[in-house]
Amino acid sequence: MATGRTHRPATRSRGIPEATVARLPLYLRALTALSERSVPTVSSEELAAAAGVNSAKLRKDFSYLGSYGTRGVGYDVEYLVYQISRELGLTQDWPVVIVGIGNLGAALANYGGFASRGFRVAALIDADPAMAGKPVAGIPVQHTDDLERIIQDNGVSIGVIATPAGAAQPVCDRLVAAGVTSILNFAPTVLSVPDGVDVRKVDLSIELQILAFHEQRKAGEESGADAAVPAATARKASAEQGPDGDVPAVMPA
Amino acid sequence: MATGRTHRPATRSRGIPEATVARLPLYLRALTALSERSVPTVSSEELAAAAGVNSAKLRKDFSYLGSYGTRGVGYDVEYLVYQISRELGLTQDWPVVIVGIGNLGAALANYGGFASRGFRVAALIDADPAMAGKPVAGIPVQHTDDLERIIQDNGVSIGVIATPAGAAQPVCDRLVAAGVTSILNFAPTVLSVPDGVDVRKVDLSIELQILAFHEQRKAGEESGADAAVPAATARKASAEQGPDGDVPAVMPA
DNA sequence: CCATCTTTGTGCACGCGTTCACAAAGACAT
DNA sequence: ATGTCTTTGTGAACGCGTGCACAAAGATGG
């Protein structure tokens, strides 16, 4: 979700729920694979399996786009690829800038899946003067000083931030001031942006911590593993009590 | 969420909702920053602002961990850092392997935030024999052939996949067979895993597509921009009706 | 010791997302 | 044309997550 102060219903304006939008790229990827194998039609069941979701959910998702299926047969692959692409706005060209060309920024610039669907790396920007002019992934790195001009000259509306945490908010502010309205943030910081600007974040460290949590749970329960009700197995010390705890917590000094 | 066939309630076993778990790392980061500035206590309001969330949500989140606050004062920063760290399992050491040392894999290996909290890059693995032995981020790359041995020797339970899409599922299968039970997937593929294995995916291309969707919406509505209720502007054909729809959908040909 | 003021913890209501289950729609065979 | 069979599209129920609003708890001052 957007990080700033977005208590708005977000996407309801056009009826497509946010959760559905987030899955469309998944469907698109599966459909593209089918298309390359020249498969003419798919059932919701097959496509759902390929996309890793429930078939009912997939059908409901598609129902928000309109009735593109044929009962008794399934969905026309090519047609659906087109419809989803159009819905996602991938039929047009999206120039993107990447700010912060360190390890990660360079990896992103080289990432193939970037250019694939309508996205084009229009410029690479870094604050280090030593980087200026040096080509990364065939694109010369430009200095931060020219950020505003680069954004405007290329009509960029999507920016990718791959700077260190400390630089992220200032860079973000400049991007927004220059006209960027969508930001993909790889820096481990909460960005605050004005209304109307979308921010999505990709945070490696957070993902790992979430995995660690589940990993710890699995390790702590051993034995019962996948069984139905692990119930109250002996737990480690951890201010633990009954499931519906109301026991006063022991405050430390 | 996990990608395989996980229709399970997931995390309810121990009472902490998944959504809350996903925010704990955010709180932890904000708290760590406060701790470094030697701030002794924070109110839910302040901390919520720092983490970019609603204060009521934050309080409810913390309530799942226990009653760690003091009314009229707020939360003890150090204590809370410790509690969340422990809850997330960050007080122990998590050896991690990265499979696929291309641009992205190398960037991940060099990523500082990796080693920061309990996570340690135990090994780098790549299928290219030419890479074998070459040090990346100070760690020698090992060949895929030794994958199983490496996992077992190091007691690795978390694996990071940064291979090309085609190699991801086979690598995943081998990781799981060798004992890995949590996977962070950067490859643009849906991984299927057995029950009990958690998969989280980070997909650059999907994030961009979601941004493009919103970007397109913004561009399509121009004028009204941020206004309150765009209401029923002229819509394209798309079985659209009132907000609380029960109107029979108009089927197109 | 009592009054006041701050901030937590949570009961409650609401809305979104998921899933079930089934009627409607079309393909296909006879 | 009619019947059967497959698969879609969706109404309805349910559960989770969010946010409001307030009572309880404790700090602080007189």
For CA atoms B209, B211, B217, B223, the dihedral sign is: negative
Contact, B23 CB vs strand C, < 7 Å:
no
CB contact under 8 A, A88 and B198: no
B205 against A15, higher pLDDT: B205
B153 has pLDDT over 80: yes
Contact, B14 CB vs strand D, < 7 Å:
no
- Report which of B104, B42, B118 is spatially closest to residue B75, judged by C-alpha positions: B42
Tokens linked to B179? 């004992």
Measured CA B45 to C1' C4 distance, in angstroms: 21
Position A25 confidence tier, pLDDT thresholds 50, 70, 90: very high
Q: What are B223-226's contacts with CB under 8 Å, separation 24+?
A: B225/A196, B226/A195, B226/A196
Please state, in angstroms and rounded to a whole number, the distance separating the CA atoms of residues A164 and B109: 16
User: What are the two backbone dihedrals, phi and then psi, of residue B216, each rounded to the nearest 5 degrees?
Assistant: -65, -40
Please check whether residues B104 and B160 belong to one and the same domain.
yes
Tens-place pLDDT, residues B108-118: 999 877 766 78
Please check whether residues B106 and B132 belong to one and the same domain.
yes
pLDDT > 70 in chain A, percent:
81
Please state, in angstroms and rounded to a whole number, the distance separating the CA atoms of residues A97 and A155: 10
Residue A66 has its nearest CB partner, among B22, B52, B238, at: B238
- Report which of A75, A68, A59 is spatially closest to residue B238, judged by C-alpha positions: A68
- Give the nearest chain A residue to B18 (CA atoms): A210
Tally A–B CB contacts below 8 A: 216
Identify whether A222 is part of a domain: no
Say what the pLDDT of residue B223 is: 46
Which of B186, B203, B216 should we substitute to test contact with A (largest number of A Cβ atoms within 10 Å)?
A: B216
Choosing from B88, B119, B145, the residue where a domain stops is B88
Which of A157, A215, A235 should we substitute to test contact with B (largest number of B Cβ atoms within 10 Å)?
A: A215
A3 has pLDDT over 50: no
Which residue in this structure is represented by tokens 């559905």?
Answer: A20
Q: For A20-34, A78-92, A211-225, which range has the lowest pLDDT when averaged over its residues?
A: A211-225
Nearest chain A Cα distance for residue B33, angstroms:
11
The CATH number that applies at residue A18 is: 1.10.10.10
Say what the pLDDT of residue B242 is: 31
Identify whether A175 is part of a domain: yes
pTM: 0.85
Please check whether residues A58 and A102 belong to one and the same domain.
no
pLDDT > 70 in chain B, percent:
81
Residue A158 contacts residue B212 (beta carbons within 8 Å): yes
Please check whether residues A108 and A146 belong to one and the same domain.
yes
Total number of domains constituting chain A: 2
State whether residue B107 sits within 8 Å of chain A by CB.
yes
Which residue in this structure is represented by tokens 């004062």?
Answer: B73
Please check whether residues A103 and A140 belong to one and the same domain.
yes
State whether residue A56 sits within 8 Å of chain B by CB.
no
Residue B172 identity: C
A13 has pLDDT over 90: no
- Report which of B163, B155, B205 is spatially closest to residue B181, judged by C-alpha positions: B155
Identify whether A217 is part of a domain: no
C-alpha pair distances (Å), B207 with each of A23, A32, A184, B25: 11, 18, 7, 20
The mean per-residue pLDDT over the stretch B7-18 comes to 58
Mean pLDDT in chain A?
A: 85
Say what the pLDDT of residue B250 is: 27
B69 has pLDDT over 70: yes
B213 has pLDDT over 60: yes
Nearest chain B Cα distance for residue A76, angstroms:
15
Tokens linked to B66? 């226990």
A-chain CB neighbours of B163 within 8 Å are none
CB neighbours of A176 closer than 8 A, spacing ≥ 6? A183, A193, A194, A197
Q: Percentages helix, strand, coil for chain B, rounded to the nearest 5?
A: 45, 15, 40
Q: For A56-65, B104-113, B121-130, which range has the lowest pLDDT when averaged over its residues?
A: B104-113
User: What are the two backbone dihedrals, phi and then psi, of residue B234, each rounded to the nearest 5 degrees?
Assistant: -55, 120
What letter would DSSP give residue B133? T
Please state, in angstroms and rounded to a whole number, the distance separating the CA atoms of residues A193 and A181: 9
Please check whether residues A178 and A197 belong to one and the same domain.
yes
State whether residue B99 sits within 8 Å of chain A by CB.
no
Please state, in angstroms and rounded to a whole number, the distance separating the CA atoms of residues A183 and B201: 19
A8 has pLDDT over 80: no
**In this structure, how many other beta carbons lie within 10 angstroms of the beta carbon of residue A102?**
16
Please state, in angstroms and rounded to a whole number, the distance separating the CA atoms of residues B79 and B34: 12
Say what the pLDDT of residue A219 is: 86
Position A246 confidence tier, pLDDT thresholds 50, 70, 90: very low
B11 has pLDDT over 60: no
CA B158 to chain centre: 13
Identify whether A148 is part of a domain: yes
Tens-place pLDDT, residues B32-44: 999 999 999 999 9
B-chain CB neighbours of A4 within 8 Å are 52
Please check whether residues A53 and A100 belong to one and the same domain.
no
Identify whether B219 is part of a domain: no
Say what the pLDDT of residue A14 is: 59
Say what the pLDDT of residue B14 is: 59
- Please name the residues between 3 and 42 in chain A that touch chain B, using a CB distance below 8 Å: 3-4, 11-15, 21-22, 24-26, 28-30
Tens-place pLDDT, residues A146-180: 999 999 999 999 999 999 999 999 999 999 999 99
B226 has pLDDT over 80: no
Residue A115 contacts residue A121 (beta carbons within 8 Å): yes
CB contact under 8 A, A89 and B158: no
Please state, in angstroms and rounded to a whole number, the distance separating the CA atoms of residues B32 and B10: 28
CB contact under 8 A, B192 and A52: yes
CB neighbours of B79 closer than 8 A, spacing ≥ 6? A252, B68
**In this structure, how many other beta carbons lie within 10 angstroms of the beta carbon of residue A121?**
20
Please check whether residues B115 and B136 belong to one and the same domain.
yes
Say what the pLDDT of residue A222 is: 61
The mean per-residue pLDDT over the stretch B153-176 comes to 98
Choosing from A160, A178, A204, the residue where a domain stops is A204
Choosing from A39, A71, A88, the residue where a domain stops is A88
Helix axis angle, A165-177 relative to A147-154, nearest 10°? 50
C-alpha pair distances (Å), B129 with each of B47, B86, B109, B125, B143: 49, 40, 19, 10, 6
Say what the pLDDT of residue B210 is: 97
Residue A88 contacts residue A119 (beta carbons within 8 Å): no
Identify whether B231 is part of a domain: no
Q: For B9-18, B63-72, B237-246, which range has the lowest pLDDT when averaged over its residues?
A: B237-246
CA A123 to chain centre: 21
Measured CA B72 to C1' D29 distance, in angstroms: 14
Contact, B192 CB vs strand C, < 7 Å:
no
SS3 (DSSP) at B62: helix
Identify whether B30 is part of a domain: yes
Position A35 confidence tier, pLDDT thresholds 50, 70, 90: very high
Domain residue limits at A103: 94-204
The CATH number that applies at residue A126 is: 3.40.50.720
Residue B54 identity: N
> Computed over its alpha carbons, how large is the radius of gyration of chain B?
23
Binding residues of B for NAD(+), as ranges, are: 100-105
Please check whether residues A77 and A99 belong to one and the same domain.
no
Please state, in angstroms and rounded to a whole number, the distance separating the CA atoms of residues B76 and B41: 5
State whether residue B179 sits within 8 Å of chain A by CB.
no
Please check whether residues B114 and B43 belong to one and the same domain.
no
Please check whether residues B194 and B122 belong to one and the same domain.
yes
B248 has pLDDT over 60: no
Tens-place pLDDT, residues A69-110: 999 999 999 999 999 999 999 999 999 999 999 999 999 999
Contact, B243 CB vs strand C, < 7 Å:
no
SS3 (DSSP) at B24: helix
Please state, in angstroms and rounded to a whole number, the distance separating the CA atoms of residues A170 and A185: 13
Please check whether residues A80 and A174 belong to one and the same domain.
no
State whether residue B120 sits within 8 Å of chain A by CB.
no
Binding residues of B, as ranges, are: 100-105
